[in-house]
Structures are given as structure tokens and as C-alpha cells.
Amino acid sequence: MAEGTGTASAPRGQACVVLANLLFAIGYSFVAATGGALSVWQLLLVRGLLFALVLLPWAAGHRQIALGSNRTLLLASGILGTAMIGCLIAAVTVLPLSMATLLGKTTPLWELLVLWGLLALRPRPSELLLVPIALFGLVLLLHPEGRLSLATLGMLGLVLALASGLLNSLVLVVLSRLRSTDRPQTINLWYAAVMIVVSLPFAATQPWPADPRIWLFTVMFCLFSLAGQSLLAHSMHQVSPTFASVGTLFVPIFATLIDWAIFGQLLSGMELIGILLVLAAGALVARAEKDHMAGLAAAKYRWQRAG
């Protein structure tokens, strides 16, 4: 990856990563704007259908490639990705936008546990020390004296947001293996197919809103999400995975600004310090990812070693 990142294209790729995460944040703001008028299943179904419609022309011209090579991991990626985005959408509908996206982007912290649990890649002591820092930031963010206290926030929403971060770390481990066997279009096509299959039975039995504004917000969420996904995939040819991982932390930053500018969400000084601590710890963990890249490429899953 580093060899393909030239001095001229690297700044352009880095700008694409930042822009992609801005698009993701805007997309989640449209989810928040729906006010829960659409269920998580309905939002997943519309998102999956839009992704599939965009990718079907490519699949028609590349049928063999679209079927995929590593179908087990393609299916796992689709299931984990659907669960991840479903948890984050559900969290956004019940939590302030800034809070939901902040907890949902704790992926670099979860990644330490996932890499050790699945691939036996032990984190360094310096990385482990960052976890208490991030936890302290969360304590400040959820302090009873703050405006975003546990007393006013649903525990289910907090759990779903954190679960999204954990699931995202699992997705990244799966994608690191899929990149060597399947194209991004194939991965996204399977992702959309799984999302449609999982959400359709639940979405079909629920009433759909008649308010055209809700449909506008939903379509805008899907379009911004698709644009961000496409831009991020394009930028991966110009930047390292480490920078892309750090770049995901721009989502809660942009979401906080959107939450303040559009939804009128106020944050205390203590809560702002908590946000900065979580983002700083996550960024430092993500930066250390480059030291694990060689070991990650050669590592085997624990059950493969046992066999």
C-alpha cells in the first residue's frame, strides 16, 4: 500500500478520506432528522436496495467476479456489516448525534481486543495504557452533572453505539482478508444483498410513513452514505490503512459540529474534554496499527492454529 502512495497523490487521498467521513456524518444527521419515523429495518432495506441498484449494472458485466471467490468471508462481512450499521442507526435515533457517533467510532480501541482474541496478536503495553484514558473520557462525557448524563440517555442506545464500534473492528479484520481475494464492488454487492435479505421480512410488516420529508431524509442518508463509501474505497489506493483508520475519528467531530449547528445540542466543558480524550486515545491506537500490519498479513485465526 505504501509503495502505491505517491507524494503527489497522498495529499489528494488524505483529503478524500476526510471528505468521505464528512459525508458519513452528514448521512447520519439525516437519520437523526427522521426522528425515528422509519424503523432500523426500513432504513437498512432502503440502504441495501440503493446500494444494489448502483452495483447491479457492474455485476451484469462482471458476473463471475460478482459471485465472489471467498464466499464464506463475503457472507461474514455482509452479516457483520449489516449488524454494525443497524446498531449505529438505532443508536442515532435515540441518542444525540454527537454521542452516538463518538461511541460508534471507538473501533481502534476495540481492535486491540479483537486482534488478540481472533489472531493472538498481543497489544503493546503502551497501547493498553490508552484504554483507561479513553474510558476516563467516556466517564467525563457521561458525568451526571453534564447535559448528556446517563439519567437522560437510554442504556440500550449506549450499548448499541458501543456494539457498533466492536462490530466495526470485526468487519475490518474480515475485510483485511477479503482484499486479497475479492474486489470492493463484490464485497459491497454481497453486503447489500445480505442487508436486503435480513431486513426485508421485518421491514415489510411495518407501516411506512407518508410524509415526503421523511422519504427525502432517508434517500439523502443513503446517497451520502453511498458517496462516502465510494470515496473511501477510491482513497484506499492513495493512503495507508492506518490513515484511513484514523480518519474515521473525523465522523464524531463533524457530527458534533452538525449537532451543535443544526440540532442545537449544547455540550459542557467537561463533556468536550471527554470527547477530546476519547478521540486522542483512539487516534494514537490507530496510528500504532502500522506496526501490526506485517503480523496481521501472516497471522492465522486461533481455530486454524488449533487444527
Domain membership of residue 91 (yes or no) is yes
pLDDT higher at 80 or 267: 80
Summarised one tens digit per residue, pLDDT across range 159-175 is 888 898 888 878 877 77
Cβ(47)–Cβ(223) under 8 Å?
Answer: no
Contacts of 192 (CB under 8 A, 6+ apart): 48, 49, 51, 52, 55
Work out the number of other CB atoms within 10 angstroms of the CB of residue 212.
8
Cell 453534564 found at: 146
Domain membership of residue 292 (yes or no) is yes
Q: Give the 3-state secondary structure of residue 150.
A: coil
Summarised one tens digit per residue, pLDDT across range 182-200 is 888 888 899 999 999 999 9
**Residue 123 lies in domain:** 9-306
Domain membership of residue 227 (yes or no) is yes
Q: How many residues does the chain have?
A: 307
Domain membership of residue 81 (yes or no) is yes
Domain membership of residue 2 (yes or no) is no
Cβ(230)–Cβ(23) under 8 Å?
Answer: no
pTM here?
0.74
Domains held by the chain: number:
1
Domain membership of residue 205 (yes or no) is yes
287 pLDDT tier (thresholds 50, 70, 90) = low
pLDDT higher at 242 or 156: 156
Domain membership of residue 163 (yes or no) is yes
Summarised one tens digit per residue, pLDDT across range 82-130 is 999 999 888 888 887 777 877 777 766 776 677 667 666 666 666 667 6
250 pLDDT tier (thresholds 50, 70, 90) = confident
